[in-house]
Amino acid sequence: MQRATFEALEKQFCEGDATFYEDNLSVDALMVFRLPLGVLTRQRIVESVCATPRWSAVTFERIHFLPLNEDAVVLTYIARARRPGNDREYVALVSSVSVRRSGRFWLAFHEQMPAGG
């Protein structure tokens, strides 16, 4: 398990389209966002990606990589990103959990806590 592999995957989740999500989310994936979004299941995650412009100029800072065992890892970091056509920077503390199933890793959990609350 290489940290760089999971960082690259995470960046693809920031910038990727719905097909990437469908190909890389676990069947029971959850994502947690500030209300009113709250907790999203796999289907709602993919729908949200279809309806929202993807991030650009994505950078990660203060990255922590924690293998929990052979089949699960946690990646935590501060994300900085912008949406195309918008100069406002989005900053959040992010945590993702990936699990190995059927010989490959899938994103099972992802949470974003925007900076400043």
Residue 78's domain is classified under what CATH number?
Answer: 3.10.450.50
**pTM exceeds cut of 0.95:** no
Question: What is the number of structural domains in the chain?
Answer: 1
Query: What CA dihedral angle connects 94, 100, 104 and 110, to 10 degrees?
Result: -20
pLDDT of residue 84: 85
Beta strands in the chain (DSSP E): 25-32, 39-41, 56-69, 72-82, 90-101, 104-114
CA within 13 Å, CB half, 100: 11
Looking up tokens 């990103």 gives 81
Spell out, as residue ranges, where the chain has pLDDT lower than 50.
none
The pLDDT of residue 26: 97
- The pLDDT of residue 45: 96
What domain range includes position 78?
A: 3-114
Q: What is the pLDDT of residue 85?
A: 84
